Each structure stands twice: as C-alpha cells, then as structure tokens.
Amino acid sequence: MKIQVLGTGCAKCEKLAEHAHQAVERAGLTDAAVEKVKDLKEIMAFGVMKTPALAVDGEVKISGRVPEVEEIVDILKGIRQA
C-alpha cells in the first residue's frame, strides 16, 4: 500500500504526514509506505487544488484538511478489506 501526503511542507502538511505514520502503525500495516509529495506539478496531477491532501494507492481520499489519526486508520482498513 502506498500512502502519499500531498503538500508543499507547511505545518498542516507536516501534521498530516505525522498522522499518516501513526495511522499506519495503529493499523498494523507493515507493508505500507508513507511518502511526501511536495512538487506542485505532481500535486496538481492528482487534481488537488487545496492542500494538505492524502492519497492512497494513487487515489485522493482527503483534501484541504488534516484528518484525525483514527479517520486515516478507518480509510486504510477499508481499502485493505476491499
């Protein structure tokens, strides 16, 4: 599973990255990788106009806000079960 935090490095983007790492740990996803995408052209290629955003396996799940860790866990578990 590939988890991408889309944002240029602002405080909210960093907080989302922190929450994503915590969610991966809580969900027990040892095969998941979290990466930051800071390049604006790459972010825009996702269709994101407001950061921070969270993408899982190339699909944007959240944009424009920092979700709580448990919300990210729910998203990851939902994808894993699908």
3-state secondary structure of 28: coil
Rounded CA separation 23/15 (Å) = 12
**Which residue among the candidates 3, 5, 13, 55 is catalytic per the annotation?**
13
Instruction: Tell me, yes or no, if 10 is annotated catalytic.
Output: yes
Options 2, 9, 10, 25, the catalytic residue? 10
Residue 79, amino acid: I
Cα separation of 32 and 1, whole Å?
5
Residues marked as catalytic = 10, 13
